[in-house]
Amino acid sequence: MVVTQNKEVRTDRWPVNPHVKNLQASILREILKTSSQPGVISFAGGLPAPEMFPLADLQQALIDAVAKYGADSMQYSLTRGVPLMRELLAKRATERGTKSEVDNIIVTTGGQQAIELIARTFISAGSYILTENPTYVGALQVFNYYGAKYAPVAMDHEGMIIDQVEEKIREYHPSIIYTVSNFQNPTGITLSLERRKALIELALKYEIPIIDDNPYGDVRFAGEPLPTLKSIGGDAVIAVRTFSKTIAPGFRVGWINGPKDILDYIEKSKQCIDLHTSSINQYMLYEYVASGKLEPHIERIKTDYREKRDVMLKAMEEHFPDGITWTHPEGGLFLWVELPSHMSGQDLLPKAIDLKVAYVYGQPFFPDGSGLNTLRLNYSNASHENILTGIKRLGKLFKDHM
């Protein structure tokens, strides 16, 4: 018998936590809904190229994982992560210049959960976060949930302008420094070596942890590789990593490489959230990575993304009018466009969608609410042909509104 048959259930009167009620929906998700209309060429998402997913090798990795680890692969496992996976991640970090032990690693459900766990650990209402202006909007969403305030630092082509950092630290006493140091989402900009060192010196001087959110670092397709903040700064830096951009985001497997005592706190928080990250996904990725298939795969991704970036840059050169500037990323998935100051990326977006091309306007990425005249373009998820057509359409739109 259905008891509520003739009674209205007023869920709007239920005591939803105001904290949650007032949460802003991710503007990105909203834009993605619009841009996924049929026929729209989308530069809006941050999606890796699906045709690059190594499906056959992953299928084999699943077969191998179930065959080798049997019921363990389907069972509950440790909050810190499957030991084999943590050993592998520590070994790989050490080989790449960040001396790491198993206890420095906790596997997380994507990089996004790592950001959430770190925010839980360090941020309470009113805490300041020193960050690039603009920065990754998904991190801002988490930080906003915890009631953070911001000490935003402007960027130039070498990343965060370090001269402003000490000033902001003295003024705001931030709890953490959050940076996306490699091929930043949204700008594609990379923090220079000199500034990496200077940032670490300041973090040590003022005893503030640096959170280096680094999903794109392995996808460098041009220029000289730089040492990671973690490899320079050691325990001064908490690195957030993920397989989302190098293998596939659907696994939801990332990790934190950080000081052991801090990981003890993070582990307790993770127990509350999801007990642990999917066991089978970890075993499967372990099989894939340990079999040596990841490195050649990353090389293929780099070639694909370099070509797509080049096609986009060339088309922009050809079709964008004078007065518009953009970044030239050496890796990652995004480039960043600045329109003349009287133009608004947000106002132009509906017109772009009428022309069947979409992007993400830049303002939501700015913790200080500026950046009206900016927008982000993703090049990894479109074909060469669509990049050419889409950029041509945007060029016309911009010319008409200069």
Interface with ligand PLP, residue 257, by CB under 6 A? no
Kindly write out the interface string for residues 124-163 of this chain, putting x where it contacts ligand PLP by CB under 6 A and - elsewhere. ------------x-x-------------------------
Of the two residues 110 and 329, which places its CB atom closer to ligand PLP in the complex?
110
Interface with ligand PLP, residue 77, by CB under 6 A? no
Of the two residues 89 and 324, which places its CB atom closer to ligand PLP in the complex?
89
Interface pick for ligand PLP out of 79, 228, 244, 363 (rule CB under 6 A) = 244
Interface with ligand PLP, residue 215, by CB under 6 A? yes
Q: How far is CA 201 from CA 195, 359, 372, in A?
A: 10, 37, 33
Stretch that binds ligand PLP, among 1-9, 20-28, 90-98, 108-116 (CB under 6 A): 108-116
Of the two residues 138 and 371, which places its CB atom closer to ligand PLP in the complex?
138
Of the two residues 366 and 398, which places its CB atom closer to ligand PLP in the complex?
366
Q: How far is CA 176 from CA 151, 166, 238, 366, in A?
A: 10, 13, 10, 17
Of the two residues 136 and 143, which places its CB atom closer to ligand PLP in the complex?
136
We find the least distance from the C-beta atom of residue 176 to ligand PLP, in angstroms, to be 15
We find the least distance from the C-beta atom of residue 365 to ligand PLP, in angstroms, to be 10
Question: Please, which residues bridge with residue 300 across strands?
Answer: none
Kindly write out the interface string for residues 26-65 of this chain, putting x where it contacts ligand PLP by CB under 6 A and - elsewhere. --------------------x-------------------
Q: Which residues contact 73 (CB under 8 A, 6 or more apart)?
A: 65, 66, 279, 280, 283, 284
Interface pick for ligand PLP out of 152, 254, 364, 367 (rule CB under 6 A) = 254
Total chain residues near ligand PLP (CB under 6 A): 14
As a whole number of angstroms, the distance between CA 346 and CA 193 comes to 34
Interface pick for ligand PLP out of 249, 331, 362, 367 (rule CB under 6 A) = 249
Closest by CA position to 381, among listed 199, 187, 249, 287: 249
Other residues' Cβ atoms within 10 Å of the Cβ of residue 319: 16
How does DSSP assign 170-219, residue by residue? HHH--SEEEE--SS-TTT-----HHHHHHHHHHHHHHT--EEEE-SSTT-
Interface with ligand PLP, residue 213, by CB under 6 A? yes
Cα 205–209–214 angle (5° rounding)? 125
Of the two residues 46 and 390, which places its CB atom closer to ligand PLP in the complex?
46
Interface with ligand PLP, residue 79, by CB under 6 A? no
Interface with ligand PLP, residue 362, by CB under 6 A? no
Positive or negative, the Cα torsion across 240, 95, 204, 202? Answer: negative
As a whole number of angstroms, the distance between CA 310 and CA 70 comes to 45
Question: Please, which residues bridge with residue 154 across strands?
Answer: 133
Q: How far apart are the first and last CA of the chain?
A: 65
Interface residues with ligand PLP (CB under 6 A)?
46, 110-112, 136, 138, 180, 185, 213, 215, 242, 244, 249, 254
